[in-house]
Chain A
Amino acid sequence: MKIKGAELIIRTLISEGVDCVFGYPGGAVLNIYDELYKFSAQIKHIATCHEQGAAHAADGYARASGKVGVVIATSGPGATNLVTGIANAYLDSVPLVAITGNVACSFIGKDSFQEVDITGVTMPITKHNYIVKDVNRLGDVIHQAFAIARSGRPGPVLIDIPKDVQQSECEYVEYSHQPAPVATNGRSTLRKAAELISACERPYIYVGGGIINSNATEELLEFADLIDAPIGSSMMGLAAVPHDHPRFLGMTGMHGKYAASQILAESDLLIAVGTRFSDRATGNKAEFIKGKKVIHIDIDPSEISKNIPAYVALLGNVKTVLQQLMAELEQRRRPAWRQALQAIKDSPDSRLEMPPGQLNPETVIKAVRRHASDNTVVCTDVGQHQMWTAQYYNFSQPRTFITSGGLGTMGFGMGAAIGACFGTGRRKTILFTSDGSFHMNMNELATAVSNQLPLVIVLLNNNALGMVRQWQTMFFEQRYSNTSLARRTDYVRLAEAMGAVGFKVDALSQLETILDKAFAEKGPVLIEVTIDQDAKVLPMIPPNGTIRDIILKA
């Protein structure tokens, strides 16, 4: 069957199981959009307000659903507007396929209208990228792109398709899927890891987003029971373990829980699973590993000994590796270690509570949690509200916490929440944001309204760029350079003007009633909550610090 390149793109997407894509039309993708129109029964396209929002939406969709997110943009500015979204997906290992149009092949390299070398631009922030100049390669390239995006350590892949390639005819062939090869670990390496675990006295399991990517929560908990060890997580690994699981200590690192970081410091064996030891998670790397050996389990060989030297490295899908490792282990009981860590958990330093009975981030986030279900997806922007959400929102299920970890992208939240809504079949979705982050991409509220998404946006308004202000307070002698912005935005009227519902909460007494109303709405709701400008994210381990430097009180 002879078809045009543009039709081949859509048919190939459908054969990859794609039923929802995000994007923004334009001159160099007109042919693709024409096919989207024809195939609208099989594939839904969500037009955002800006390509960055579309890229974040595809990212949020992928994280919520576990499928590959797809975003389409035109050449030039359309393509460059994707860059932050692609980088965000790259840093957080999110499977994403970005399709960009480009000017016709004969116009490439001539600085033509809306021409940009987007494969050149995105080379450092994609797992791989392609420019397809021959329509006969197009089908294979798209299938390869999906395979690369979802295999191994997931990540974004970009395909740049010149306009004339979309218009050229080629033969369409149905494609058959081939399973990707899996890395295997030698028995001797597994034994070595098992020996270390048996010989140690104070093991600690430290998990990252790899547990969520490989759907390995069950194996992780079984493993922890088998070796009798506590579990701490990075921010990316936070929802991998239910918050109330007796073995779970919570998040470690810069704004992690005292007990999670203190117990890690006292351990003699660190078993790191699906994590890359970000500097925000480790602080001072030399101190971080003092007095302990590290077993590192990860799918990406380049992460082994990149940030923290591994004594034993086990490669592969962490779910499989944990199963292999458990086969080499026997049940252990470590009463002394349990007793020691219980004492730390019971210490007054482990309590991080804001004053009850007032409107503050903790009371707001916990009240929102009571209105949500265990499977409600929570997205965030970046800054203080993000850390407070990580600290106070008690997550129960994997894929319910969607946040920009590695890149720290302010403005991520609106797009991500829209994507997450579609990724969960339009389930109620929560976005925690702030006045700073919301102003970055608030245009996407219009997208949420167009699609009548059941989105509850909780905007913590402290009239400042709170996280930067906190650093200015603590490390720059209160010189508040450009963080008190004196915005006059009326969020309730803004929400209404854009077709959403708006509420404002100034006192704790109003909170429950307004949340009841907000959660009863079918479409998007924006709730502005006024909080103290000097509320801080605590505890805090200063950059490159250790647990001994932890700041517990303001």
Chain B
Amino acid sequence: MDNDEFVISMLVNNEAGVLTRVSGLFARRGFNIDSLSVGVTEQAGLSRITITAHGDDYIKDQIIKQLAKLQDVKVVKLMPFNNSVMRELLLIKVQADRDTRSSLLEAASVFRAKIVDLKSDSVTLEITGERSKCEAFVEYLRPYGIVELCRTGLTAISRGLKPLKDSKSFEEESSVKE
């Protein structure tokens, strides 16, 4: 994982156009999105968006402040790597014949991946985990011949009881730079 990478979680109104507002903001301010995942939450009317991006402290600060200004964004928070659970789901289809199949199945077991489809000439695997684990798995499978792969993008949740919706709203804070 690059050391200038960061993960932002936010709660947004579940309304048409909200994703456009979020992604449009990244585009016009010149920030890049590395991955993005969206889904409904335990609260009706609210969706949760997780974005991974990279950049220096200035970019990180601006992204969060500009996101906080969007009316449809209710909470936005930087997820600390050391105090969050971050997961991604990967589906990968690999060429497999009689000679390679058993070693592939062995690798799946070591990586705790699941076989979701098995044909005479291919095997499709599903793996969930931190990004580094998914990447290690992809690298391991590369010599077998990757036909295609897809990833969901990272999603993240904080450790401990406190939910994202109880996070302090960004706008209440003043700051002193030391």
Contacts and interface: CB of A to CB of B under 8 A. Distances in A.
Q: Do A and B bind each other?
A: yes
A315 B174 contact: yes
Given A301-B65, A302-B66, A304-B65, A127 B175 contact: no
Given A123-B17, A183-B171, A301-B173, 9 more contacts: A128-B70, A128-B72, A185-B174, A192-B176, A301-B171, A305-B61, A309-B177, A312-B175, A315-B173
A124 interface: yes
Interface of A, secondary structure class, is mixed
Interface string B19-56: 01100100010000000000000000000000000000
Nearest to A126: B71
A402 to B, nearest CB: 25
A148 B65 contact: no
A183 B173 CA distance: 8
Contacts, number: 60
Interface of B, secondary structure class, is helix
Interface residues of B, number: 23
Q: Most A CB atoms within 10 A — which of B28, B66, B173?
A: B173
B112 interface: no
7 contacts: A128-B70, A188-B176, A301-B170, A304-B65, A304-B175, A312-B174, A313-B174
A312 B176 contact: yes
Contacts of A313: 174-176
Contacts of B20: 120, 123
Interface residues of A, number: 27
Interface string B105-132: 0000000000000000000000000000
A311 interface: yes
B177 A315 contact: no
Q: Most A CB atoms within 10 A — which of B21, B28, B69?
A: B69
B69 A306 contact: no
Interface of A: 119-120, 123-124, 127-128, 148, 183-186, 188-189, 192, 300-302, 304-306, 309-315
A247 to B, nearest CB: 26
Interface of B: 17, 20-21, 24, 28, 58, 61-62, 65-66, 68-72, 170-177
Q: Most B CB atoms within 10 A — which of A123, A185, A188?
A: A123
A305 B65 CA distance: 10
A148 B70 CA distance: 11
A189 B176 contact: yes
B167 to A, nearest CB: 15
Contact of A301 (B21, B68, B70, B176): B68
Given A123-B24, A192-B176, A312-B177, A305 B171 contact: no
B172 to A, nearest CB: 6
Contacts of B174: 183, 185-186, 189, 312-315
B71 A302 contact: no
